[in-house]
Structure 1
Amino acid sequence: MQSSIDKIVEGKLKEFSIPGSAVGLVHDGRLVWAKGYGWADVTRSVPMTPKTIMNIGSVSKTITATAVMQLWEHGLIDLDADVSRYLPYQVVNPKHPSLAITARRLLNHRSSIRDGKSYSDSYACGDPTVALGDWLEAYLTPGGIYFDANDNFHGWAPGKLDPDHPGGYCNVAYGLLGHLVECVAGARFTDYCADHIFTPLGMNSTGWYVRDVNINRHAVLYSRGTKEKWEGGGQAFSSRFAVPGLTIDEVAPEGRVALCLYSYPTYMEGLARTSIEELSLFLATYGNRGGNLLLKESTIDVMLSEVHDGRPLCWHKFILENGDVIWGHTGGDPGVRTFMGFREKDGTGAILYFNGDDIGDSREVLIESLFCSASTL
């Protein structure tokens, strides 16, 4: 198994000039194999390992969804109640003011909230400097400095299944779920996760803020950029992303730029900072349902059911070439590509990190290869 995975990962790193990768396999509730490849820091020649910490992009949403469902289990959240019931401000799609935006619709990406320009512009080096609730209120309520009825909300109604509008994936929605947790639990989201998810699992090196993790173990993130890419995208080239002092003229064509450790106010949708070793502890709670320390097995069944406007809650279904069903989530941010998932029939899980974007088909090929190799365990 190891030699075949080695060949694939090393080949993809070379093919797409990816700085580094780390992978792991979970079986019977524990990490049974993990390995790092390439560099966590190219300049300092620090190797990528299963202990390397990295922000994991939207894989983070599975942690946020877990927090929400813990509160639901305790009867503290009604998934179908207007989310405004729990918040100090009203959240309404101004195009459909009579239809409620609910926790269920936030979880399954049918809230009709949209990631607008103000969301893209909220990325910045270091930890967030704006309080989550303040930013969301300014983004979602009329009169707020970030409010834009057309840019921040879709035209379709909350909960609507429309073949003409199959999208709806929304990062801001998961920021709102994080604030929902804060309002219901009466604690900062970072503290809630530490007390109810990370510490119980032994994820003692995991955190949401840069200041909460050992940055000496944190991978440097690398984004491939050209002048046109950096200037033209919603996430434009600026000191918010590149390491301080780098100018646009120093970006080599198709070269990779080292990025700062950035953040955004809605951090619970993409900024869990953890390692393969520690994330495996979280993944095992879903794959090994009998030993789940976080949620009841019946709750996981609810999450994976597709009765929620025709979708599951947070998790996505992937079908491998051999027909196996995988429940998982991908992650992507500047300099980040990740995956975490478990196989439905036996709970075997896989985790994959790249500290680079523009990776071609590397993630898809490795997902197939990892689960194929796991079949021999």
Structure 2
Amino acid sequence: MKTLITIVALCVITTYALKANAQSINPTVETITKPLDVFIEEKLKESGMVGLGAAIIVNKEVVWIKGYGYADKEAGKPFTPNTIMNIGSISKTFTGVALMRAVEENKLSLDEDINKYLPFKVVNPYFPDEKITLRQLAIHTSGITDAYPTYDSVYHYGGDSPVQLGDFLKNYFEPTGKFYSKENFLNHKPGTYREYSNIGAALAGYIVEIATGKKLNVYTKQQILKPLKMNSTGWFFADINLYNHSKLYEKQNDIIKNIELYGEITYPDGGVRTSVADLSKFFIALLNEGEYKKTRILKKASVNEMLRFHYTVDDKPDNVKLNEKNAGIFWSTKLNTTRIGHGGSDPGIKTEMLSDLSKDVAVILFTNTALPNKDMNKYFYGIYDELHKTGEKLKQAKAKP
């Protein structure tokens, strides 16, 4: 009899909880976001994007999150907020947090010569007496450049790259290395000229590994992923559930082609695989001074240092206009410095993780389909704009009594 009473009581409690949940859904949010469904579905059809996931964050809370289209078109598998895919250069923000954690642990300094930490020398042949620092690597003023076609060779299709990061970097920077060239550096004094460098970011990630004694996937799992319960996130295929990984596509001459999954030798610059739902936790933590739901991944001072604009009137790269571009520690601006965060572009993917300067409205947007540039600007960023506008409306609605 007691068992029967317990079961009945549990059923009543569960029913009540479900009703309470249903009543707690904000009808205002549903009304404001409803047009997004029509808009996004239309843009998917027009553009050829196979799958898409997005989240709107208002006042550091996810207020809307959804997936559209397919993670696997051939199998009819839907793209959801929990679909995993590689996110390209948004990964640099994870490298940035790892770097700042190592600084907190007094294992690294942002302004020391990087040769203090490395097992090989990195010297700009045009300015051999000038030091290169981690801060310069992080704000892309180190003078290191991505030499092509060498950089194209870092992609390994079919799995994670068997080439070790340290071996590649040694061959890139040592004068006797097979990838070495003076053209791996700019003829500009370190700190004086901005050039976005993936290999510079990879070098920073490698230095974190040396300083902590742990591979980046292990260190970030301990310091970021596990504390935030980002259970669908990892750097390598072995770190994630491949069943939940999206297929990748590319549009070429109005034909959608499959792209084989790949890894990168220089994974600190773009190797993270995650979902919209998981990345939302990480982004909120950064927007909220290092904390997500009472879990802290960085000290407030470290986040402030990471996010602050490093280019100033008195100290900026020669080729930067402050009303057009600025940067933090692997943290960037877009849309003429009206947005902060980072984006990613790699074969078969396009991603953005951007907030307004107040950190009140933020958007995460993934697609598993690479489009021609003109289509990417029209469709992907058209969707981004609509998501941000919707976030502004939700912010205003939330502010009303």
Does TM, scored on the shorter chain, surpass 0.5? yes
Q: Where does structure 1 lack aligned partners over 5 or more consecutive residues?
A: 162-166, 226-252
For each residue in 1:267-290, what CA deviation from the matched residue of structure 2 results, as whole angstroms up to 9, or x when unmatched?
111110000111111011012227
Question: Quick one: which of 132, 135, 140 aligns to 1:101?
Answer: 132
Shift of residue 319, structure 1, vs aligned partner: 4.7
Query: Structure 2: how far apart are the matches of 1:307 and 1:134?
Result: 31
Is 1:19 matched with 2:36?
no
Query: Structure 1: how far apart are the matches of 2:283 and 2:150?
Result: 32
Question: Are 2:61 and 2:284, in contact at CA under 8 Å, matched by a contact in 1?
Answer: yes
Instruction: Tell me which residue corresponds to 1:50.
Output: 81
Query: Structure 1: how far apart are the matches of 2:95 and 2:47?
Result: 32
Is 1:80 matched with 2:111?
yes
Instruction: Tell me which residue corresponds to 1:159.
Output: 191
Residues 128-143 of structure 1 aligned to structure 2 (within 5 Å): 128-143=161-176
Query: Structure 2: how far apart are the matches of 1:158 and 1:290?
Result: 30
Instruction: Tell me which residue corresponds to 1:362.
Output: 379
Shift of residue 367, structure 1, vs aligned partner: 2.6
Q: Secondary structure at the match of 2:370?
A: coil
For each residue in 1:305-327, what CA deviation from the matched residue of structure 2 results, as whole angstroms up to 9, or x when unmatched?
2335534222222358xxx9421
Instruction: Tell me which residue corresponds to 1:179.
Output: 206
Question: Quick one: which of 16, 35, 54 aligns to 2:66?
Answer: 35
RMSD: 1.8
Question: Are 2:96 and 2:306, in contact at CA under 8 Å, matched by a contact in 1?
Answer: no
Residues 1-377 of structure 1 aligned to structure 2 (within 5 Å): 1-116=32-147, 117-125=149-157, 126-150=159-183, 152-161=184-193, 167-225=194-252, 253-289=253-289, 291=291, 293-308=296-311, 309-310=315-316, 311-319=327-335, 325-358=338-371, 359-375=376-392, 376-377=394-395
Query: Structure 2: how far apart are the matches of 1:307 and 1:218?
Result: 36
TM-score computed with the length of structure 1 as normaliser: 0.86
Shift of residue 91, structure 1, vs aligned partner: 0.8
Q: Secondary structure at the match of 1:121?
A: helix
Q: Where does structure 2 lack aligned partners over 5 or more consecutive residues?
A: 1-31, 317-326, 396-401
Shift of residue 88, structure 1, vs aligned partner: 0.7
Instruction: Tell me which residue corresponds to 1:244.
Output: none
TM-score computed with the length of structure 2 as normaliser: 0.81
For each residue in 1:291-349, what CA deviation from the matched residue of structure 2 results, as whole angstroms up to 9, or x when unmatched?
351122222222232335534222222358xxx94211111001110000223324432
Question: Are 1:16 and 1:360, in contact at CA under 8 Å, matched by a contact in 2?
Answer: no
Shift of residue 211, structure 1, vs aligned partner: 1.9
Q: Secondary structure at the match of 2:355?
A: strand
Query: Structure 1: how far apart are the matches of 2:66 and 2:142?
Result: 39
Shift of residue 203, structure 1, vs aligned partner: 0.6
Query: Structure 1: how far apart are the matches of 2:266 and 2:360?
Result: 30
Range with bigger deviation, 114-123 or 61-70: 114-123
Query: Structure 1: how far apart are the matches of 2:354 and 2:104?
Result: 23
Q: Secondary structure at the match of 1:360?
A: helix
Q: Which has the larger radius of gyration?
A: 2
Query: Structure 2: how far apart are the matches of 1:141 and 1:80?
Result: 22
Q: Secondary structure at the match of 1:200?
A: coil
Query: Structure 2: how far apart are the matches of 1:295 and 1:334?
Result: 32
Q: Secondary structure at the match of 2:150?
A: helix
Q: Secondary structure at the match of 2:154?
A: coil
Question: Are 2:290 and 2:303, in contact at CA under 8 Å, matched by a contact in 1?
Answer: no
Range with bigger deviation, 117-126 or 129-138: 117-126
Aligned residue identity for 2:357 = E
Question: Are 2:60 and 2:359, in contact at CA under 8 Å, matched by a contact in 1?
Answer: no
Number of residue pairs aligned between Structure 1 and Structure 2? 341
Question: Are 1:198 and 1:206, in contact at CA under 8 Å, matched by a contact in 2?
Answer: yes
Aligned residue identity for 1:336 = I
Query: Structure 2: how far apart are the matches of 1:307 and 1:334?
Result: 30
Shift of residue 190, structure 1, vs aligned partner: 0.9
Range with bigger deviation, 269-278 or 361-370: 361-370
Query: Structure 2: how far apart are the matches of 1:277 and 1:199?
Result: 15
Query: Structure 1: how far apart are the matches of 2:286 and 2:361?
Result: 10
Q: Aligned in 2, Cα 1:96/1:290: closer, same or farther, shift over 3 Å?
A: closer
Shift of residue 15, structure 1, vs aligned partner: 1.9
Query: Structure 2: how far apart are the matches of 1:371 and 1:73?
Result: 34
